[in-house]
């Protein structure tokens, strides 16, 4: 008992032993790294198998990273890769002793018999590298999340950017043999042949445009550009309405410029044919209320999904687009407009580089989701500086902030309203009042050319010229044109009066009980 008391009392008392946490090793595969390097020095064609899978930094061991970098140097200069040439190259780089000398190089070749499983081993090494990258990334984000001086929203955007970079570096697509691709192309061809219009893509509702483009094609990036006040938003809203209401095509619209309420108001003006100022003020005539109630039914349950997140990053767009396609079966995405987007979380030397990254990411997203993406874009002031009728037509060089937009896009369209520049007659003598030209300046998979549409400024709407009667130009003997201030010549303050009710006999089949067959004329 005394002995027991001695062991447990005073300074001689034994404390319970706590086994410390041994910690964690970073993901690594040292043996596989040695096997891959040995195989590369044994087989002359082995490098071509792993060149797209591995980079020098993929190796965990610093010595292995330097040896692989030497092998890459030899392969690029088309010199043979073996134990002797690698040793010589490392000697030139001044790194031979750092990696363990010629003895270690010779050891690597003795640890493997052939390159039979080199691709499988290389993929495991690449996965370990990716796991290390993710660990480093999450540790960095965790450290910054504890820093109260850093804005959480900025941190989230940075995290999205870094994760996007990691995923882009490691996304590889295998080569496909041509047979299944031919079958897919034939299916698309048969589908287009079975449609009476012969369209293989999505209809816009604008017949001339559909005929020239065969509809918007899947995986295409389409840029629609114009100077301010030309009607970019009006055009895509008219198109979205046509696609969603007339053809039941689900459309996603990312509006960085206008709120969703403003967009819906524009749609109401477009569909219900009621002037925008009346919609804003709410001062509608009785027949206009009836017209609104009757026509707004078209918009209910229309598959149009609006997101009005300001200063949207391309990474947020990517996440939201994937979800929209998965949950709502979105067939087309419209972005209004490209220059208001950002690529937060990534560092750039200039705004041009950032816009270039955005346009490249949009093209990549269109390919990934296999749907057309339409991005609106502003033009620079080059149009305003040029003189003459042809000088006012937009050109590819007028695209603002980056030449990469023109390069990445499958199609570039310009909206041009000659009337805005006081050009009322075309070269062929046709009247241009109330007309807009859609100029297809670049078309990777088809023809370029011009398509004319009617622009009704009063209702901020584009439509086919044949969908409405054309009012002849005024003559010296009288006549009148109808329009809004938006369509009036520059400098004009007067707005022509609408037609009076006395000019139109009442009709019994009018669902609004008002004048004419559809209320006042839309001009």
> What is the rounded CA–CA span in Å between residue 502 and residue 442?
49
CA angle 100, 101, 107 (to 5 degrees): 75
416, β-bridge pairs: 437
- Order across the sheet with 411-416: list the strands: 304-307, 251-255, 332-336, 373-378, 221-226, 411-416, 435-443, 449-456, 461-463
User: Kind and range of the H or E element at 181?
Assistant: helix 178-194
Q: Which of 470, 449, 467 is nearest to 209 (CA)?
A: 449
The answer to whether the bond into 76 is cis (omega within 30° of 0) is no
Give dist(CA 458, CA 486) in Å, integer: 7
Residue the block writes with tokens 């009476």: 196
377: helix, strand or coil: strand
* 257 catalytically annotated: yes
Report the SS3 class of residue 251. Answer: strand
Residue reference for tokens 């990517």: 318
Alpha carbon 402 to its chain's center: 15
Which of the residues 65, 165, 207, 257 is marked catalytic?
Answer: 257
Q: Which stretches does DSSP call E strand in 161-287?
A: 221-226, 251-255
Helix axes 260-272, 232-241, angle to 10 degrees: 70
Catalytically active residues are: 257
């Amino acid at each position: 008992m005394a002995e027991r008391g001695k062991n447990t009392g005073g300074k001689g008392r034994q404390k319970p032993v706590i086994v410390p946490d041994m910690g964690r090793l970073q993901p690594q595969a040292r043996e596989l790294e040695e096997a891959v390097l040995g195989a590369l020095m044994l087989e002359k064609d082995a490098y071509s198998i792993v060149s797209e899978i591995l980079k020098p930094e993929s190796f965990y061991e610093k010595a292995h990273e330097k040896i692989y970098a030497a092998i890459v140097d030899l392969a690029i200069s088309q010199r043979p890769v073996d134990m002797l040439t690698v040793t010589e190259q490392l000697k030139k780089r001044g790194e031979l002793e750092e990696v363990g000398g010629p003895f270690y190089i010779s050891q690597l070749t003795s640890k493997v018999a052939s390159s039979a499983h080199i691709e499988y081993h290389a993929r495991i090494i690449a996965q370990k590298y990716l796991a290390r990258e993710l660990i480093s990334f999450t540790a960095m984000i965790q450290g910054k999340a504890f820093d109260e001086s850093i804005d959480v929203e900025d941190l989230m955007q940075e995290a999205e950017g870094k994760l996007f970079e990691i995923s882009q570096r490691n996304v590889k697509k295998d080569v496909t043999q041509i047979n299944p691709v031919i079958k897919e192309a034939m299916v698309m061809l048969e589908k287009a042949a079975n449609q009476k219009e012969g369209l293989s893509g999505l209809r816009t509702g604008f017949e001339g445009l559909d005929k020239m483009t065969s509809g918007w094609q899947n995986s295409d990036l389409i840029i629609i550009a114009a100077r301010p006040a030309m009607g970019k938003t009006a055009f895509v809203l008219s198109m979205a309405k046509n696609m969603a209401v007339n053809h039941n095509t689900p459309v996603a619209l990312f509006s960085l410029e206008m709120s969703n309420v403003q967009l819906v108001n524009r749609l109401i003006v477009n569909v219900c044919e009621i002037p925008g100022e009346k919609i804003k003020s709410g001062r509608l005539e009785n027949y206009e209320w009836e017209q609104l109630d009757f026509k707004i039914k078209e918009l209910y349950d229309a598959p149009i999904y609006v997101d009005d997140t300001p200063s949207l990053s391309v990474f947020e767009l990517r996440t939201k687009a994937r979800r929209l396609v998965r949950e709502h079966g979105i067939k087309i995405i419209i972005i209004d407009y490209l220059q208001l987007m950002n690529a937060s979380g990534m560092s750039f030397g200039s705004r041009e580089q950032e816009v270039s990254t955005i346009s490249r990411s949009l093209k990549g997203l269109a390919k990934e989701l296999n749907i057309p993406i339409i991005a609106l874009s502003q033009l620079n002031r080059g149009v305003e500086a040029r003189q003459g009728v042809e000088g006012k037509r937009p050109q590819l060089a007028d695209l603002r902030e980056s030449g990469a937009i023109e390069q990445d896009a499958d199609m570039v369209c310009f909206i041009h309203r000659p009337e805005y520049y006081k050009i009322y007659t075309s070269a062929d003598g046709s009247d241009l009042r109330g007309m807009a030209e859609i100029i297809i300046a670049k078309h990777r998979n088809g023809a370029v050319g011009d398509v004319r549409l009617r622009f009704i400024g009063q209702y901020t709407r584009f439509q086919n010229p044949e969908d409405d009667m054309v009012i002849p130009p005024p003559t010296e003997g009288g006549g009148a044109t109808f329009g809004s201030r938006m369509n009036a010549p520059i400098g004009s303050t007067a707005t022509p009066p609408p037609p009076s009710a006395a000019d139109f006999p009442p009709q019994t089949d009018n669902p609004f009980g008002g004048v004419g067959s559809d209320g006042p004329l839309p001009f």
